[in-house]
Amino acid sequence: MDTGRGPDHCASTSTQQKVAVTTRGEQHMSDHVGRRAPSAPGTRRTTGAGLLLLAVAAGATAVLFAAAGSAAAAAPAPTPTPTPTPTSTPTVTPSATVTPSTSTAPQSGVAYSAEFEDITTDGFQGDPDTVVVGPSTTAYRGLGSLDVHNLTGYGQGATAHNLPATLPTGYYTAHAWVRLPAGTAQDMSLTFPGASRVGVIQTGISRSTSTGWVQLTTHFSLGGGTAAVPLRVEPVAHCSDARPTPLPFLLDAVELDYIGTVPPPFALLPTPACPLGPTNSPTHDTTPPPPPSPTCQVSAVNTAWPGGYQSTVKLTNLAPAPVTGWHLTFAVGEGQKVLSLWPTPYMQSGTLVTVTSPAWNPTLAPGASVSIGLVATRSNPEAVVVNGPHDFALNGVTCRSPIV
């Protein structure tokens, strides 16, 4: 029967029917699956679309883990930090210990000296005891010297027994300066009487006078041991016209110069010619010459009180020439002590007071004066007359000193 529909219509109807059948079949399968796997109470049922999503998510996670693994495999393994090797501590080799030298080799130079600067005898004694020694203010250098007098024969003099016992062995040169306070000429020498350790190489003889200082020299060697080494300065009768009794003499600046253990080329010491001269004949008048005219004048004014006094001293130069580097000596009463003195330096030894020129004005011109003041204690506070400064001498020459 002709329905009026063409072939296309039949094909379309057939296709739609197939789709419908297919849709119903899928629905049937879906219902069947839903019935075979009922969801547990409280759980969400997973549909096919959900399963697809889970599968997609699981694949993405696997890809991420694979990528992370690849990245981890591609990243270089960290290089471990090497453990530092400890720096070895250098072995310090101790420096050699310096052992102090135990050598006691002495140095060359002055091994002993006596200057008599403290107005003492510096250990020198009269030899023998009848010879008198004492301080003098006439000096070769400095302020003092040793006055040796009361000699009764040759082989006498001034002896030092206090030489150091530790003088080193070796070679020496001994020196001393001498002069006569009065008289014309006298030969002198420096010796070591009875010194078993001394080997005298050469003893010099020098001629002393009252016009100036001369030097005595002796070359000698000193051996070991502890025996004493006395040193003596004495007059010698070198010439036949020497006086039978030696003249007094002044001694200053005694020195022992240590040279060493090797003998040096000692110079030959000269010997004075003889005779001494007609004035030294034993028959010649030995009356000492008159003292020189005073070259200074001193006046002193004393003001006393119980237990002490003050004195004003005025020193005047009477010489025709200026005096430079002067020293004035005077005596005070027994037991008196100078407490202060101005404006010059001073020193006191017993009753002897020595005043030296000030550094700021060391020269005393001809006719010029200088005033010196002092305060001292009194040994007898009840005495009416003050035994003040007296017996003045300028550079060893006695001053004219009226007391006002």
Q: Please give the helix or strand (H or E) that residue 72 lies within, else none.
A: helix 48-74
Q: What is the pLDDT of residue 84?
A: 56
The pLDDT value given to residue 148: 94
Task: Indicate the SS3 state at residue 216.
Answer: strand
pLDDT score of 289 = 56
Q: What are phi and psi of 20, to 5 degrees?
A: -65, -45
Per-residue burial over 161-198, b if 16 or more Cβ lie within 10 Å, else e, is: eebeeebbebbbbbbbbbbbbebbbbbbbbbbeebebb
* Pairing verdict, β 249-260 and 170-179: antiparallel
* pLDDT, position 264: 84
Q: What is the pLDDT of residue 83?
A: 59
- Is 249 within 8 Å of 188 (Cβ atoms)? yes
pLDDT tens for each residue of 258-307: 999 988 887 788 889 998 875 554 444 445 555 566 789 999 888 988 88
Closest CA to 243 of 276, 279, 280, 278: 280
Quick check: helix, strand or coil at residue 17? helix
Q: Give pLDDT tens digits for 121-155.
A: 888 999 999 999 988 888 898 888 999 999 999 99
* Spans of the chain, pLDDT less than 50: 1-75, 96, 98, 101, 281-286, 403-404
pTM over 0.75: no
Q: Measured between alpha carbons, how far is 377 from 26 in angstroms, rounded to an integer?
A: 156
pLDDT at 387: 79
What pLDDT was estimated at residue 335? 86
- β pairing state of 186-191 and 296-305: unpaired
